Amino acid sequence: MSTTPELIPDLPPAAADAPAPAPAPGSRGGVDVDVVVPVHNEQEALAANVRRLHRFLADTFPFSWQIVVADNASTDRTAAIARGLVRELPHVELLRLERKGRGRALRSAWSASDARVVAYMDVDLSTDLRALLPLVAPLISGHSDLAIGSRLARGARVVRGPKRELISRTYNHILHALLRARFSDAQCGFKAARSGAVRDLLPAVQDDGWFFDTELLVLAQRRGLRIHEVPVDWVDDPDSRVDIVATALEDLRGVARLLAASPVVRFVAIGLLSTLAYALLLLGLRGPLGTAAANAAALAITAVANTAANRRLTFGLRGRVGIKRQYALGAVVYGLTLALTSGALAVLHGLDPNPSRPLELTVLVLASIAATVTRYVALRSWVFVRGVAELTLTPPAPSPTPSDPT
């Protein structure tokens, strides 16, 4: 089935039913903030909560805004109710998708948005709406690239059962341990981002389900984007139909996929292959060159290949910009590795003037493995740091003036 979104423009309400004036313009293009509400079979909660959100934005929000109900393959009356809301309320749109997936709904809505900032919140409005302005203000001003509501940050007030609390904290501990995440709450349904940052990230996000949020944040962090956290007041929806076990398993599969694609894992894989190649070259060259010369030659050959592979695969650098500097600094790193392995060989010969060949090889390989840690730190913080910064960091958007709420 097609996933082409069905956009239904807002229609003017009857004069007798007109709500208080809102700060949003009459069309979606050019608003400051698009607030997306992804829904699937939410006929019971949709109307009341969208009206509540609309009243809040119209009465208190200082920036121009638009509400987009993103219906992903509902089979109940959700779409019909949303169409009624479009006719009833100004600045409300419906985006209809024929395939299920919260991530798919957000991807479609955010990709089609002309707003400067895109946001989303769960339809149950579990998060206190007063956190919306602190969420989007750093994005409007250009001081941050993404913003997340956090139930685990200091100052948050959360009401939910012990089971959900335990699962949430365990999941975020897994993200910190395996993916080195620096954000505190990946799955809170209350997030926003600069449109430019989202457009750059979305092509790299593979998940279209519940893991979409986590993947988006991990990729943003890896690219050096600025993530702002807002402690929120949050009350658990007792009628939530989310399958916790199935969602947790899906998230763990996503974590494993991101872990396999992480720079550290790629560096380790390249390091293992380099060490194997080094050992084979050392064995082949030791006879004609001697141990010391064979060690230097094997390290030189593998160092060039290692630098090239890490430049492309670990740090994602392409082209020839900065390549001479990077290879020159890579040669310095090679010198440090050579000094470490030669020193280990000298210590061995000081202890045993005639060590066996297997013992020599073992000592050199172990020294080479120990040098891998030094090489990673040097490559990341010294050799490729300028190229990585140029590749990942984007300048902040210019600070706008908030719209006049009157």
Q: Where in the sequence numbering do the catalytic residues fall?
A: 213
Quickly count: other Cβ atoms within 10 Å of residue 189's Cβ.
20
Task: Round to whole Å and give the CA distance between 82 and 79.
Answer: 5
Q: Which helix (H) or strand (E) holds 37?
A: strand 33-39
For residue 27, what are its two tokens? 């069309």
* Helices H / strands E in the chain, number of each: 13, 10
For residue 349, what are its two tokens? 């010969």
CB burial string 127-164: b at 16+ within 10 A, e below = bebebbeebbbbbbebebbbbbbbbbbeebebebeeee
Burial class (CB in 10 A: 0-12, 13-18, 19+), 121: buried
Task: Round to whole Å and give the CA distance between 231 and 179.
Answer: 22
Task: Round to whole Å and give the CA distance between 193 and 134.
Answer: 13
DSSP output for 327-338? HHHHHHHHHHHH
Strands (DSSP E) along 53-173, which ranges?
65-72, 92-97, 117-121, 146-150, 157-159
